């Protein structure tokens, strides 16, 4: 399913560790952008479900686009949410967060979906497919979300003192 919240689990864990050196807003934006192809496929049937967007080359190009657009969109979102202490988002943080988002997305989906070919067009193998069960993958993503969320909250609470 496009835009699954399970992809945010690893992002929360990275945010907890990296704090201001990582933007959860840009990471989330990259999750949406990379799943536009599956959304288009589901609504029109005109394109492959995962296809080029879910390759390392596609993730790199989408990471560039998400990093370039995510800085300003993320800053706007933080203003709307009244979170000015997380501003500004530097260009370096924007691109690092976008690439973390797109690469983690295709890695997770390559374990889960049979139609994800990480190394296309050079190789059509699926080295990570079914590396772990889908249930275990979901548990891992949820666990990362819970642990990352709690850790991020604790560090943030400590910094506010």
| Model confidence pLDDT, tens digit, residues 55-71 | 999 999 999 999 999 99
DSSP three-state, residue 101 = helix
In tens, the pLDDT along 93-115 reads 999 999 999 999 999 999 999 99
**Predicted local distance difference test score (pLDDT) of residue 2:** 60
In tens, the pLDDT along 27-65 reads 999 999 999 999 999 899 888 889 899 999 999 999 999
Name the nearest CA neighbour of 125 among 49, 62, 35, 56.
56
Distances (CA, A) of 78 to 7, 64, 95, 126: 20, 21, 17, 38
pLDDT at 9 over 80: yes
Please state, rounded to an integer, the average pLDDT across all residues of the chain: 92
Name the nearest CA neighbour of 10 among 121, 107, 154, 122.
107
């Amino acid at each position: 399913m496009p835009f699954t919240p399970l992809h945010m689990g690893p992002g929360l864990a990275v945010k907890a560790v990296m704090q201001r050196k990582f933007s959860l807003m840009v990471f989330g934006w990259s999750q949406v952008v990379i799943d536009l192809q599956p959304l288009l496929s589901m609504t029109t049937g005109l394109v492959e479900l995962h296809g080029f967007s879910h390759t390392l080359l596609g993730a790199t190009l989408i990471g560039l686009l998400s990093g370039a657009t995510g800085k300003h969109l993320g800053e706007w979102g933080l203003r709307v949410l009244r979170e000015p202490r997380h501003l500004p988002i530097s260009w370096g943080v924007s691109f690092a967060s976008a690439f973390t988002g797109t690469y983690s997305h295709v890695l997770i989906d390559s374990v889960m979906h049979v139609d994800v070919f990480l190394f296309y067009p050079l190789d059509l193998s699926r080295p990570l497919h079914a590396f772990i069960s889908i249930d275990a993958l979901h548990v891992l993503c949820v666990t990362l979300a819970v642990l990352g969320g709690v850790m991020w909250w604790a560090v943030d609470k400590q910094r506010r003192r």
